[in-house]
Amino acid sequence: MGKMNYKSLKKPSNLFRWGNLLSLLLLLPVQIFTLQESISAQIEPDSEQICVADLPDAINSIRNRPEWARSRFGILVETRNGSDTLYNYNGEQYFIPASNTKLLTTAATLHTLSPDYRIATSAYAIGTAPSLTELRIVGRGNPSLTTTQLQDLAQQLKRQGIQSIETLVVEDGYFKTPAIVPSWEWEDIYYYYGTAANSLILNQNTFVLTLLPQAVGEPVQVRIEDTIAAKQYRIKNTAITASENTPYSVTITGELGQPVLQIAGELAVDSSPDVWRMAILNPAQYFLDSFRRTLALEGISVSQAKVTTTSSSPTTEVARVDSPPLIDLVTQTNQESNNLFAEALLQTVGSQSNANTPVEAVKNSLTELGVDPESYSLVDGSGLSRHNLVSPLAIVQTLQGIATTPVAAIYEASLPLAGETGTLRRRFVNTPLQGQFRAKTGTMTGVSALSGYLNPQNYSPLVFSIIINQSEQSASSQRQAIDEIVLLLGQVQNCGV
């Protein structure tokens, strides 16, 4: 997901707070997505049809409402085969796309790599069982790697009779560009949605921090069950337990350049556990410490351990774990708007290309799909950076181009289904379009976007891109305007001469 006003999301009724710990346990294995990208538009269903000739006036009537006088719209609607343009307003202009950036990233990924491609994490050994001189773990940016897979890796070694390792090395240099994009806002990098995309990713480079109320007037209790992650931060906690029904005001912020989390505000004594998902500060060290502990649990001792970014000469691969197939990673990226997955896919495309940078590799792939290289300018794969500039034309051409390839159905199926799945599961509910089209959301402060595929009952299949920028209106108001326009598209028909 793109960066948005997360101050509003850090309230107990929104993203970071669930009613009980059971809910947390159910939610942790999946990427938590932005509720503000998925709330229903609350639009009354309308079964009337609209003539294609009348569509521009109908869209303009929404776009020209007084509340949008200070906002900037970009809208392009074309047939899927590109034969007709139904509506174009600022379609060639640049906009901040937020998470619509992921449409370009995932299209390029599927076009470059096989849908069955898997990302390997390998163990290479010097020496023989039971004692190894060196064991080197080479990470290649698998964003789905979990503690369970680390256990699998350790158990593979144990089954080979390995009992001790003189030097454990974890290699974090497979990706050649920074794990954190320099143009991301610095406050983002402390939260799960802005975590680093490095070569050694474990548990999505995040951990859970839970705040619990105590007696009134006492400090809020801070609980981090992941002790390895907890060691990377110093906690400055001034948050206080307040009386019943006190408005929620807890904030967690980082200190620029420091391993510090500042917790402040008030948490009512009758509050449920307040759950936050935070970024691992040093992912490579976290991986190393976690794997060393996993080896110990399997009875394998390690004398010394270190992180390196230097690649070694190949030795014997003695164990490996693979990611799910690429299509699963792409689906996770688009359905839940997972920033980390998008950045890892961008880097993976770059690693399989002769291009100078991952962004250049994506651009080369999109050009092959027929996307005008001057119609966009990317700096990341997720859309978190406000330096991304993308036109509705670039998105429409991406959707059209990938639709002509063998992976067309796979790509389209990776997108959220209106009113049913992913970040669209709470939009278009109880409208004629529920379950009827697929599209990708995008949300940041002052930015909303929705782009995808739509098949009207009485017209040719469409592709569309709608982006709002520079808006002072609420995210929900922006989404409602977008959804009204999309409902119009679902009603379009040819009315004859």
183-217: pLDDT as tens digits: 999 999 999 999 999 999 999 999 999 999 999 99
List every span in the chain annotated with CATH 3.50.80.20. Answer: 119-321
- Tokens 């690693």 belong to residue: 351
- For position 48, what pLDDT does the model report? 79
Q: What is the C-alpha to C-alpha distance for residues 270 and 216, in angstroms, rounded to an integer? A: 10
- For position 315, what pLDDT does the model report? 82
- For position 34, what pLDDT does the model report? 40
Q: What is the C-alpha to C-alpha distance for residues 7 and 110, in angstroms, rounded to an integer? A: 35
Beta strands per DSSP E along 400-459: 437-444, 447-454
Fold of 119-321: D-tyrosyl-trna(Tyr) Deacylase; Chain: A; (3.50.80)
pLDDT, tens digit (0-9, with 9 covering 90-100), for 257-302: 899 999 999 999 999 999 999 999 999 999 999 999 999 999 999 9
pLDDT, tens digit (0-9, with 9 covering 90-100), for 48-102: 799 999 999 999 999 999 999 999 999 999 999 999 999 999 999 999 999 999 9
Quick check: 393 and 103 in contact, CB under 8 A? no
Q: What is the C-alpha to C-alpha distance for residues 398 and 396, in angstroms, rounded to an integer? A: 5
- For position 57, what pLDDT does the model report? 98
- For position 302, what pLDDT does the model report? 98
pLDDT, tens digit (0-9, with 9 covering 90-100), for 343-364: 999 999 999 999 999 999 999 9
Q: Containing H/E element for 76?
A: strand 72-79
Cα 17 to Cα 100, 106, 205, 274: the distances in Å are 26, 30, 20, 5
- For position 20, what pLDDT does the model report? 37
Residue 22 confidence (pLDDT) above 50: no
Q: What is the C-alpha to C-alpha distance for residues 391 and 241, in angstroms, rounded to an integer? A: 48
- For position 47, what pLDDT does the model report? 54
Confidence of residue 32 (pLDDT cuts 50, 70, 90): very low
Q: What is the mean pLDDT of the chain?
A: 91
Tokens of 207: 């951990």
Cα 265 to Cα 59, 218, 240, 374: the distances in Å are 44, 12, 6, 47
Q: What is the C-alpha to C-alpha distance for residues 124 and 114, in angstroms, rounded to an integer? A: 26
List every span in the chain annotated with CATH 3.40.710.10. Answer: 6-116+326-493
pTM: 0.90
Superfamily name with CATH number, domain 6-116+326-493: DD-peptidase/beta-lactamase superfamily (3.40.710.10)
Determine how β-strand 206-212 pairs with β-strand 274-279. antiparallel
